[in-house]
Structure 1
């Protein structure tokens, strides 16, 4: 064997020995061993920093590649900082305070932040044959379910570009509440539902009493513990309200519609109610007051300008008191009722004609927030 061949074989043998040492020899020769130990140290640092639930380390030589989906940008920064500061106490040739490794954070993803909605709402407006949805659901799956239910009832007449994903949904089957309200609304010519936390309100107009009753039956399927209220007007029937209505505007409209053009009639110059029709009307008002139990109802008494102003004010106060006491006798919470007499101070018509004076003699109901 020539000299050159001997040298060549020697180089090959030395290379093999070096490779074996690198793979199997203890520190300081085992770079692979250092890499493994460093990876364990980095993972421990991630765990101790509170990021171990989502972050793991993949070591390649001295590169610590962090992999996972961080719940936030701050969590990512925390994990990277912990990984950089990790120390391998058992790594060979380690110098105190110096890093043996580098950190690669390119594989860390940041989870999409889902906002919290408060209040948690969902509305549906049905007009001209089109249902427009607007509000919140808890996930993409919940949104898909909502739209599938809507399209099963309304076909391709559904607009959903304002549905958003948010946390904060109440402790109830939100999709079931939406399904019940959409089903009820589908029986109306036009209307809307408003869901807000643990309450909903359906308002609108039905072509018949049967359609109105079908809408009410759909609302009766709402989950237990959820307050589903309604105020529906029907052709050939009176306005019907159900549940506890938590909208001052709707309550005011309810009283207006129930009263219509009817008057509460009193004996001449006295505070006694003089006919049965007035009592029937007040019975309906008492029922409405119970459905609007979260609001204050002010009973306002008004007179015409015939006679002294002081006398008229006293008479209007007594008449307002009579109406308020009747409502209370029918089970309305006394704390919910106020009675105020304004006398002739707020006319709505000309006091120089009999018709105008008759219009000014009236009882009005005003809804306001509880104090």
Structure 2
């Protein structure tokens, strides 16, 4: 009885314990599940679906791979807002840095004269302060706005050369937007004229490193065309333009379409410019071209609002009358038409009088044929000598007083046209003026057509067959700086530049050497060069250094007086510092007394100023030449006086 009571009591206690344990276990499981759900929802709302959540009793394990250290910490923070942060066990990994894609580094540099802005993302290794300092040193820059962001990633290949080149390019194009990426630079800018645009593009291309992919978009205002000229011909069934002008893109498209309908094949050039005489220019041009196509031969020439249509010889009178009448009635009101049907010459009739002038590739001019009188011949020869050089002109033309009125004007105009060519010929007859040849000037055909149309007047026929050749273009065929320096050294290997003893005055016999050097530099275009003076070791060192500097400056002055652009050249004296031979012998001292021309490297900030110098005009050099001559005159006696006390032995040993 007693044992049974104890058993019952023990069973009750055991049941209660088991029940409590089951209830506690259920409660813990329920808490774990609830906590996991709450934290999972919070992480999803924070866009952290990569994080895994697992509850273990009162502890919470976070696992998964975070995209960055910052996101890992953010996940811990989210969990810590729901449960005690001490219960959160961090088991998360972080994506390795090398697996994160590097950002695209790029910079937009905007310059409008004195204001400059930097926008973009650069590597942290880029010396930002040094970059801004370089930009502040650019001439004309008054304010630099730094709006750059920085990212700590590896510097991509080609980034530094591209950024360096962009800074240099800012000196060439003062109004520009320069976009920089690794190994890529895009320059968008404005020039004041087409000629300046060509100079900018040439300088930009020369300064660009080979590893840089360069894109240029330099715009220039439209040129003023005076007179506004168009000339379209059909000869032997072949249409062509001698000159074409338009006032808008739409007008150009309409004119070229009319020419294509008339049989013109291939690409044709038509200049868009200012100075159009009437808004209906394209309408008048297209109708005139269509009229010439109906005649199947001849020429139509516009000089402003004056139109001259000359039919081909042999054109039927009835067809000519119909086409001309239709054109006259269809032209806009401002335009006037002068139409000519040439008479067919009788068989056996003697050919017309003629004047011919031929310009050789070497620049020699031969004139043949007829001139009216002695006064006209004198004027023609004077013009030829002024255009081609006194020694280059040979006149073999005879006088003929029976020549038609206006003959001399036609001859003078033809010579003016020939002067725009590198080589070619002109033929003048009573009926026509023909110009043919080669040129390195792309606009030569337009300019010659405008000249003939303006000078000869309406109803006068002429032909222009001019071929542009890139090899003759002075802008396209400028020698490389290294080649120019090599030519200067070759000149001095034959005969060096010598000076009067103990002074900075170039001796008379060396003036021919200076002429040769000047011709080379005129053909070379702008580049950075140092004119360096050197002496032997006799005399005082300070006096030798001053003498060498004065001599280098004297050479630079002589170049300026010969109209060489010297804005990017510098003169420097090195005295006796760098001998190239033994100063213990007379031959060695003679070799050490020298002038050297050295190409300066296009490195760091020095190149920036040189590129700016390239943009200076010839007028600036010419204006400074007179001042430099006075300086040279003052320097020469001073050098002699100084040399007299410190370099006297050099004078006695045959100083150059």
Shorter-chain TM-score: what band? 0.3 to 0.5
- Bigger relative contact order (CA 8 A; separation at least 6): 1
Is the radius of gyration larger for structure 1 or structure 2?
2
Structure 2 length as normaliser, TM-score? 0.23
Q: Which has the higher helix share?
A: 2
Structure 1 length as normaliser, TM-score? 0.37
